[in-house]
Structure 1
Amino acid sequence: MNPLARTAYYCCAVRALDAERRQPICGDQLAQRFMDEEALAFVAPLLRFSEPAVCNAARHRMIDDLLRERLAADPKHLVVLLGAGLDTRAFRLHGGKWVEIDNPEIMAVKEAALPATQSPNHLQRVPIDFQHERLADVLKPWQGRRKATVVMEGVICYLSGEQLRDSLRALRASLPAHRLICDLQTRMFADALGGRLRRELASFGAHFGELSVRPWRDIESAGYRQHSRQSIVERASLHGALWAPPFLLDTVFRFIRDGYTVCEFEAV
């Protein structure tokens, strides 16, 4: 299995387990469709890290909420999930024209468990070999669309600086004035809180990109304006799912609060 495809199962397992809680954070009832016994056994070593799992569910919910707001204003809005993984939003959220882009292995798994034809919204799945195909070529059918939102959830942390710049360049050329939603980790946060999970993922073959002190600056320097930045850790804490109370996150552990965020950018 492709190492990045394996991380998709981890994120999906987090959402499936969250959906079983009495008060779920995300409430993705469809995630369980992908989690058979083999998949659950594979991700079991990763799920012992409870705090990253809670943050993962909170991250997904935060992006859900941003997309709900966008789709309420424009029910025909184009949403491109770049590195879609086992995302089920096209089936759960109301409205939108959805495009899911990921490697062929993931697309085949999704189509078998949750066929695109069953989506209540318009959904097109596009397989891409990231090693040999150009993102700009894959995006040609939507060339010039100005009203679009691109979601890169759990993706940027695996990209080198060059890969990130190339991806953003292709997005800006194909979808001028699009809105980008992504999650970003600072180097300090990853070292302090994410190290154990990162090492476990690396043992499965996942390769991480460079970490920045201020990763949002990397996006801005590629031709984007920051629209918003929200703390994933703070959101998880509000759900009562983390050990740190708000007053500590606002003071001693502020670097943790601000080190893992969901960000919105506008291409300029």
Structure 2
Amino acid sequence: MSQPEPEADRDYYTASEAMKRLGLSRTTFHQYVNEGLIPRLLRPGAKRGVYPKRDIDALALTMNLALRVHERIIFSRSTPGDQVEEMDIGIRCFGSEFITPLAERIAFQRKSEHTFWSLKVDGRVVGYLSLFRLPPALLDDLLTGRHIERDIRVEDVLPFTRIEPFDIYIDVLAIDPRLDPHLRSFYASLIISRIADVLLDFLANGYQIEHLYTVTATREGDNLVRKLGFQQLADKSLVPGRVAYVFPLDEAGIARLRSLSRRGIYVTRRREDSSRS
């Protein structure tokens, strides 16, 4: 009698299983993994990565629409033109009352070039993400619900610097709702892996980021941030429907970020006391 499959493994494929499910050669499969097009997780204590069945099954349904256009996918800091398309996606996802006007968005990006990031396919924005460094009092107000993201002003946006520790607030991750659900899932995974690369690069270059914070307002958002490793801040969520989360960038957080990254680069924190050097 065969042994039952461990419950922890029921949600994942091995590399060979994922290759078979996607119908890819070993070379092509690992090329796509390295490019972040196929999500891979490295669980604590494991030497080999695993591949979420949910994501692999979705990719199997969208191979021609997703993996086959990988050379036409670009993730980069948003231009003013990108932000026009981002606003349209944001309005479709959340409503116009929650979307910052274009002039302010461009001003935000001028204050901190790392604020808006877009994922483009064939030159068209399919999803975007925003990162803010904010004064601690405003950050706390956003987490508790005393303010909403639309209340962020240009003067509140702080540049990312290497001089002192700081936290990052992830305002939004949005995918064009007009796309097929499987493509939306695929593009969301791509944005996550690419922004993990960006954050690892920040850490490797002396940016002393201590925490990532975000707020969700939907069950889908809750499921996503929990899956990524965010922890709920129960004492911060004072407004019904808004739930605050934190992702500490300690040693465990860095390892988790590495598992989400398309390159799997390990980054050592540079927060040690300078007296050690």
Q: TM-score, normalised by structure 2?
A: 0.30
Higher relative helix content: 1
Larger Rg: 2
